[in-house]
């Protein structure tokens, strides 16, 4: 695997390596790395400095990357890439109303995410508690092993895909309670397969308790996950299951039905 993020054996014949490297450069910026030098970017992406420089020059000419001295940063134009997806998939029309209903009924926050390798990517989010702690945003990535959403999504994989996902993971402790043992994580995923939901407490960050359920396509495959999260100490997993599980499952069913009748959303959920 190189900076493109794919194994050479998995690449199609017409794979454009230069494009893949450019996208990898864009993806290496995050909250912990808002601006970086050329050498830092090359190291994070796994490219030679010369290859990273070519990508940065191209992205800069297109308006996606800016430069201040020796440090590079993203420019607002990058947001157009995500907004195109957001509006094409009709997220605001098809997903946000369901998240708002959950938040109106139970407070706190609700999200929809999909699995991308060892991470989950949030594709929709709604919260009324932004002032109390940092919340997820659309496009945010978090380690799947530390989220209720991720455990539900892993539970939806077949055994072979699950083993590949676990093998590719390097679980890190984000809190003192984060499960980092792959054996323990596999046992938790098996439990999710039995119950049809996942709960987590202080796994991703202190103060976050969450409950997640799967969103299924018309064929019954898990294509995304829906969760409701609250504040540890104010709500327990058992209380979430008792008070929110039925509403989450109903919302997940409606989202799955919407995907079946709306091609744009169905295409987003197509994980093949």
Residue 265 has pLDDT above 80, yes or no: no
Distance CA 78, CA 50 (A): 23
Q: Contact at 8 Å (CB) between 215 and 256?
A: yes
Tokens standing for residue 149: 């959403």
Average of per-residue pLDDT across 34-57: 94
pLDDT in tens, 205-239: 999 999 999 999 988 999 999 999 999 989 999 99
Domains and CATH numbers, the chain: 8-78 (1.10.10.10), 89-269 (3.30.450.40)
Lowest mean pLDDT across 6-15, 44-53, 98-107, 135-144: 6-15
Query: Where residue 189 falls among pLDDT bands split at 50, 70, 90?
Result: very high
**Using one digit for the tens of pLDDT, what is the confidence trace for 49-67?**
999 999 999 999 999 999 9
pLDDT for 42 equals 94
In 3D space, the residue among 107, 44, 100, 114 whose CA is nearest the CA of residue 72 turns out to be 44
Residue pLDDT, tens place only, 69-85: 999 999 989 888 877 77
What whole-number distance in Å separates Cα of residue 221 and Cα of residue 162?
A: 14
Average pLDDT, the chain: 88
| Cut 0.85: pTM above it | no
As given in the structure block, the two tokens for residue 213 are: 């359920």
Short-list 136, 143, 116, CA closest to 208: 136
**Pair 193, 223: CB distance under 8 Å:** no
- Degrees, nearest 5: CA angle 207-213-218: 155
Average pLDDT over residues 17-26: 91
């Amino acid at each position: 695997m190189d900076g493109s993020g794919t194994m050479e054996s998995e690449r199609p014949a017409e794979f454009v390596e230069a494009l893949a490297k450019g996208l990898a450069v864009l993806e290496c910026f995050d909250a912990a790395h808002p601006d970086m030098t050329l050498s830092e970017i090359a190291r994070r992406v796994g490219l030679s400095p010369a290859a990273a420089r070519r990508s940065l020059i191209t992205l800069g000419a297109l308006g996606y990357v800016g430069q201040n001295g020796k440090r590079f940063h993203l420019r607002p134009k990058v947001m157009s890439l995500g907004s195109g997806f957001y509006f094409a998939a009709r997220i605001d029309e098809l997903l946000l109303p369901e998240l708002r209903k959950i938040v109106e009924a139970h407070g706190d926050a609700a999200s929809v995410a999909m699995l991308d390798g060892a991470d989950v990517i949030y594709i929709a989010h709604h919260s009324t508690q932004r002032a109390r702690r940092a919340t997820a945003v659309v496009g945010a990535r978090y380690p799947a092993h530390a989220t209720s959403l991720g455990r539900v999504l892993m539970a939806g994989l077949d055994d072979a895909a699950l083993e590949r996902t676990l093998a590719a993971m390097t679980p890190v402790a984000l809190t003192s309670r984060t499960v980092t043992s792959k054996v323990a994580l596999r046992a938790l995923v098996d439990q999710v397969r039995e119950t049809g939901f996942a709960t987590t407490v202080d796994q991703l960050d202190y103060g976050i308790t969450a409950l997640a359920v799967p969103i299924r396509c018309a064929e019954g495959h898990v294509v995304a996950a829906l969760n409701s999260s609250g504040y540890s100490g104010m709500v327990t997993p058992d209380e979430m299951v008792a008070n929110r599980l039925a509403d989450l499952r109903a919302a997940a069913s409606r989202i799955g039905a919407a995907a079946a009748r709306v091609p744009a959303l169905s295409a987003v959920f197509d994980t093949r």
